[in-house]
Amino acid sequence: AVLMGELRGALDRGEFALHYQPLVSADTGEPNGFEALMRWQHPLHGDVPPSEFIVLAEETGSILALGEWSLRNACHFAATWQDRTLSVAVNISTVQIRHSNLVEIVARALSDSGLEPSRLELEITETAFLATTNEAMSVIESLRRLGVRLALDDFGTGYSSLSYLKKLPVDKIKIDQSFIVDLPDVSSDVSIVKAIVELARTLGMTTTAEGVETVAQRDCLRQIGCPEFQGYLYGKPADEEATMQMIARQS
Ligand code: G
Ligand code: G
Ligand code: MN
Ligand code: NA
């Protein structure tokens, strides 16, 4: 409650930052791109994690300004990367889809930064998709027409049916880390991840395994044929400076 009143002013005071975590190719072990993750550096409370302030920001409507700031910042940063094949992924709240002119905001972030649309990936959580109305669906279709890619975040934690998945206009499914954590020991999780990867491929979608922390998990995922990994094994979310250094080392 204390934080709620401060959220609005915090953006103007420059207390937010984006950190970046690599999305790594299973084939090469090199980054395909980076996911932007917001951090609130509060002067008294220290680093407030998104798990605490995103919901608050959604309830108060501050997420509209915060989300637009994230998009614009991530696009401008990615446009400075030497390697033009790297993409940037930005998380989008369902509130932004419903209550802002998201298509215009994304289009403007792209043209102002000069970032190629194909290098921007928008991550939308499965639960957000479930709440999707016809109106929201048309926003999602318009975003696709801009040429950006769409990813279904935290897949497996919601209640998507298979027929529902078929209708979703997404390019990528991000498999929630709860299915990755017990690989390769829990055979039911191996089966589930294998099924998701194969189903996605059948539907023309790619997959990313979230929360990859160990070599054993990586090896299991390689065997399954999951094409992209994200997790502490490859890198924790890092600030802009450390991210630039990582990109410089790779190129
Ligand atoms: O980095 P961390 O694990 O704390 O992030 C937790 C969650 O916060 C992420 O899974 C993501 O869904 C959400 N999040 C992080 N940054 C943003 C952002 O810029 N916008 C939105 N809507 N959600 C974000
Ligand atoms: O967008 P999403 O809600 O999926 O955000 C991913 C979250 O997962 C971020 O908050 C990030 O800090 C966290 N994360 C990323 N990699 C790992 C990992 O390997 N292990 C754990 N426990 N968390 C991770
Ligand atoms: Mn995400
Ligand atoms: Na996720």
What domains sit in the chain, N to C, each tagged with a CATH number?
2-250 (3.20.20.450)
pLDDT at position 20: 98
* Conformational region of residue 70, where left means phi above 0, alpha means psi within -120 to 50, and beta covers everything else: alpha
Pick from 99, 107, 124: nearest CA to 71? 107
Nearest CA to ligand 1 atom 19: 38
pLDDT 10s per residue in the chain (251 long)?
A: 556 667 878 998 999 999 999 999 999 999 999 999 999 999 888 888 898 899 989 998 999 999 999 999 999 999 999 999 999 999 999 899 988 899 999 999 999 999 999 999 999 987 666 566 777 788 889 999 999 999 999 888 876 667 677 777 899 999 999 999 999 999 999 999 999 999 999 999 999 999 999 999 999 999 999 999 999 999 999 999 999 999 998 86
pLDDT of res. 159: 67
Ligand nearest to the CA of 38: 1
Amino acid at position 169, single letter: P
Is the Cβ atom of 51 under 6 angstroms away from ligand 1?
Answer: yes
Distance, CA 70 to ligand 1 centroid (Å)?
A: 10
* Ligand 1 atom nearest 123 alpha carbon: 12
Q: How confident is the model at residue 236, as a pLDDT?
A: 97
Selection from 235, 167, 215 nearest residue 30 by Cα: 235
Ligand nearest to C-alpha 21: 2
| Ligand 1 neighbourhood includes 50 CB (under 6 angstroms) | yes
Give yes or no for residue 237 CB within 6 A of ligand 1: yes
Place of tokens 């790594």: 24
> In this structure, are residues 156 and 140 in contact, taking their beta carbons and an 8 Å threshold?
no
Cα angle 212-226-84, degrees, rounded to a multiple of 5:
85
Q: What would the two tokens of residue 228 be?
A: 């992209």
Give the pTM: 0.95
Residue 54 Cβ < 6 Å to ligand 1: yes
At a CB cut-off of 8 Å and minimum separation 6, what does 188 contact? none
